[in-house]
Amino acid sequence: MPPALTLFTAPKPFTNPHIALIQRNAFRSWQALGESVEIVLIGSDEGIADAAAESGFRYLPDVPVNQLGTPLISGIFKLGREVNQSPLLAYVNADIILFPNFLEVAQQVAEKLPKFLLVGQRWDLEVTECLNFAGDWAEPLRRRTWRDGKLHMRAGSDYFVFPRACFQDIPDFTVGRAGWDNWMIFKARQENWPVVDCTSDLDIIHQNHDYSHLPNGQPHYRLPETGENIRLAGGRRAIFDLNDASHRLVRGKIEAMPRDWKGKLREFQNRPMLKNNNFALTQLLFTLFQPKRAWAEFLKNREMQKIMQSSRNSASK
């Protein structure tokens, strides 16, 4: 009998001691989800094979990469999908601590909806020690998170749960760079799958870290691969966030996402793109309704194009 859920991820290299620590913390919290969840580590970076062996996870090293050697989301999702026939799939960033109700929440939604995407905000927490996930660990850690952590802005998501029938065709996004997580929300909305914001019912912890694992220690949004991710997504109009979710989960009940006037305006602006794949009309409406933001976006796009061109020039030398 297949597991109820397959949880897969592409960890960072284990060369940085703090990154190694927080990823192992995350993995131990995933182990605590029980035998109904199969966990798969994907990638050939240093330390991933050892971490999989330590945790008893499945290990798949042969993932497609881009010209810089960075794993591709399309390949990661394909590998995660193929290991078994579980009805639910989940991609979770490798520094995320999950609480024991993760599978329960996913199954609650699956009982009500045939297709969906579950997403949500994270709590950012400073963690510098090896955490203990034995016994009654969840409530003390949850209280610490609420006391010392900070709820992250609604820019994207660090986990994605969906039925096997969804997301069978994904562009060649680069993992660990901005844009692809936003596209997941956009794609689900475009396909008319309910996008359910689970923030109210599902706490997750992001263990804070620096960017030393990225080229030149730069934040991911300044890397050329982020520009390519945005291009593959269809441009900045397809960069959705949690405010674009269609529904939310509150005390186990799925309800329509409430909209203020700004939210209603954004829904109106995005309708041509979501209903008829008319990106041009959505861009026109965005420019008419929000000219200052449109100009700032134009300048940002031009800066990103310079970064991407500089990277291509360096690669060709």
With both helix axes pointing from N to C terminus, report the angle between 180-190 and 261-276 in degrees, rounded to the nearest 10: 70
Strand order of the sheet with strand 123-125?
96-98, 204-207, 123-125, 150-151
| H or E element in which residue 102 lies | helix 102-112
In a domain, 187, yes or no: yes
Same domain for 305 and 229, yes or no, is no
Question: Which stretches in the chain have pLDDT values below 50?
Answer: 213
Q: pTM value? A: 0.90
pLDDT of residue 157: 93
Computed over its alpha carbons, how large is the radius of gyration of the chain?
19
pLDDT of residue 297: 81
Structure tokens at 313: 């020039």
pLDDT of residue 5: 98
Same domain for 187 and 227, yes or no, is yes
Instruction: Tell me how many domains the chain contains.
Output: 2
pLDDT of residue 135: 92
In a domain, 243, yes or no: no
The boundaries of the domain holding residue 170 are 5-238
Same domain for 285 and 224, yes or no, is no
Structure tokens at 238: 């397809």
With both helix axes pointing from N to C terminus, report the angle between 180-190 and 224-233 in degrees, rounded to the nearest 10: 10
Name the amino acid, one letter, at 300.
Answer: K
Same domain for 212 and 302, yes or no, is no
pLDDT of residue 215: 52
Q: Which of the listed residues 205, 238, 271 is the one where a domain comes to its end?
A: 238
Report the distance separating Cα 250 and Cα 254, nearest Å. Answer: 7
β-pairing verdict for 195-197 and 58-60: unpaired
In a domain, 28, yes or no: yes
pLDDT of residue 289: 93
Same domain for 27 and 103, yes or no, is yes
Same domain for 300 and 162, yes or no, is no
Q: What is the CATH number of the domain that holds 128?
A: 3.90.550.10
Q: Which of the listed residues 238, 270, 300 is the one where a domain comes to its end?
A: 238
Residues 6+ apart with CB under 8 A from 183: 171, 173, 229, 232, 233, 234, 238, 239, 240
pLDDT of residue 282: 96
pLDDT of residue 237: 93
Same domain for 209 and 124, yes or no, is yes
pLDDT of residue 311: 61
